[in-house]
């Protein structure tokens, strides 16, 4: 079990992570969700051992990880992109972590002098996202921590490509057990038979599957995924999110997934932790967080753009747009947070005028005038009203979040 306790991580004067508490049980998948710059990646990187906390502790099964280098934490890392070794084929990439795990070597020393330490303060990431390549401060040595968090390859010279890296450990072919494990992993990620393919000839989605297979191969005790799908286009992302959810379950992985996309978080996670300005503001099951956001800022982040006084009685919520069954609403006065889909063209009591419309994939988004106020609503594609039309709106509970009454 991972336990993060009162964690602070600062970059000079910037407190990127502040007083964070988080637990991840064995076999649980937690999504860290929040807007850009809220500190998600920093928290994940601190757990990986890539950033040094300024306060607080990170422990695994009660053992403090402070001072345990990245390659000894036994964690698997998957980042957004740029993480496969282009000079290796698919099987070579997947088996890489297995071989390094077997050698249990510390990071190599290159260039005649001590190479950069992998301790948190001793490395710099290459680019803000970091990928898996980490540039050492001394001599510009390149490091990677792919595949179960073990140290893998290092190259000499700041600009050197992974293709010219020096290797340590047994650089020959993998053993029989490894071959079986590679095949098993490729099957798990839906790439059976791809072992001999060059990774440079794979699509972005296939490359991410290989990266996942590589990270999962050495049985990491915790998988850390930083925006693993965000470099992919939307359709592929949605499909891969479903596949990833399945393979995390099937492999029984314990995982922390960083994302800014709530659909992705809710597809993948057993629990969602919402972050804002360095803090975790809410942790809960996806539907709880979706239906009962802790405050208005969280509700806005989760798509609510209209907040109304409402009351609820016996699971029926009533506001100015009518009543609807909302079983997650506690009795009494409350604030209803409406997402655009909460107001649909139908036969409700409110008459409005359509002022704008735009086609989406499976519906039409409308802006309607409710008498001096512009609000979002939706209509079906087949019967979407034209701009200027007078229509009635009905309240759809699927788009309704419930908050405590303001003030």
Ligand X SMILES: Nc1ncnc2c1ncn2[C@@H]1O[C@H](COP(=O)(O)OP(=O)(O)OP(=O)(O)O)[C@@H](O)[C@H]1O
| Footprint on this chain of ligand X (rule: CB under 6 A) | 11, 14, 16, 34, 36-42, 128, 260
Closest to ligand X by CB, 37 vs 163, is 37
Give alpha helix (H) positions in 49-128. Answer: 90-103
How far apart are CB 34 and ligand X at their closest, in Å? 6
Checking phi first, is residue 101 left (phi over 0); if not, alpha (psi -120 to 50) or beta? alpha
Burial of 167 (0-12, 13-18, 19+ CB in 10 A): middle
* 11 versus 192: smaller Cβ distance to ligand X: 11
Minimum Å distance from CB 90 to ligand X?
28
Residue number, 273 or 354, with CB nearest to ligand X:
273
- Classify residue 84 as exposed, middle or buried by CB count within 10 Å of its CB (0-12, 13-18, 19+): buried
- Map residue 161 onto helix, strand or coil: coil
How far apart are alpha carbons 347 and 219 in whole angstroms? 55
CB closer to ligand X out of 179 and 230: 230
Q: Tell me whether residue 96 or residue 143 sits nearer to ligand X (CB atom).
A: 143
Q: How far is the CB of 51 from ligand X (least distance, A)?
A: 8
Task: Give me the least distance between CB of 39 and ligand X, in Å please.
Answer: 4
Comparing CB distances to ligand X, the nearer of 219 and 279 is: 279
Residue position matching structure tokens 């009543």: 323
Q: Is 231 left (phi over 0), alpha (psi -120 to 50) or beta?
A: alpha
Quote the least distance from Cβ 120 to ligand X, whole Å. 12
Sign of CA pseudo-dihedral 173, 176, 178, 183: positive
As measured in angstroms, the least distance from the Cβ of 36 to ligand X is 3
């Amino acid at each position: 079990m991972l336990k993060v306790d009162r964690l602070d991580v600062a970059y000079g004067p910037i407190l990127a992570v502040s007083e964070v508490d988080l637990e991840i049980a064995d076999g649980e998948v937690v999504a860290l969700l929040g807007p850009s710059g809220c500190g998600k990646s920093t928290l994940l990187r601190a757990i990986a051992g890539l950033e040094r906390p300024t306060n607080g502790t990170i422990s695994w099964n009660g053992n403090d990880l402070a001072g345990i280098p990245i390659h000894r934490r036994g964690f698997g890392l998957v980042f957004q992109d740029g993480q496969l070794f282009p000079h290796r084929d698919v099987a070579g990439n997947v088996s890489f972590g297995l071989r390094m795990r077997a050698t249990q070597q510390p990071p190599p020393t290159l260039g005649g002098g001590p190479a950069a330490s992998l301790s948190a303060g001793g490395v710099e990431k290459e680019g803000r996202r970091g990928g898996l390549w980490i540039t050492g401060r001394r001599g510009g040595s390149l490091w990677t921590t792919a595949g179960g968090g073990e140290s893998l390859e290092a190259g000499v010279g700041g600009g050197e490509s992974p293709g010219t890296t020096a290797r340590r450990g047994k650089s020959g072919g993998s053993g029989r057990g490894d071959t079986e494990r590679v095949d098993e992993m490729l099957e798990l990620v839906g790439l059976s038979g791809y072992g001999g393919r060059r990774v440079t000839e794979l699509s972005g989605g296939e490359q991410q599957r290989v990266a996942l297979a590589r990270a999962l191969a050495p049985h990491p005790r915790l998988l850390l995924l930083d925006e693993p799908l965000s470099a992919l286009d939307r359709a592929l992302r949605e499909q891969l999110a479903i596949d990833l959810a399945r393979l995390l379950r099937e492999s029984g992985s314990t995982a922390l997934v960083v994302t800014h996309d709530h659909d992705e978080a809710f597809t993948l996670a057993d629990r969602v932790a919402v972050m804002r300005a360095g803090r975790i503001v809410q942790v809960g099951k996806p539907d709880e967080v979706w239906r009962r956001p802790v405050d208005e800022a969280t509700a806005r982040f989760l798509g609510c753009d209209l907040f109304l006084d409402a009351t609820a009685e016996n699971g029926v919520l009533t506001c100015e747009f009518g009543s609807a069954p909302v079983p997650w609403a506690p009795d009494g006065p409350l604030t209803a947070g409406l997402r655009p889909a909460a107001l649909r063209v139908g036969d409700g009591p409110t008459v409005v005028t359509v002022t704008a419309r735009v086609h989406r994939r499976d519906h039409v988004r409308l802006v309607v005038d409710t008498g001096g106020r512009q609000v979002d609503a939706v209509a079906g594609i087949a019967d979407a009203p034209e701009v200027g039309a007078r229509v009635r709106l009905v309240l759809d509970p699927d788009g309704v979040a419930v908050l405590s009454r303001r003030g």
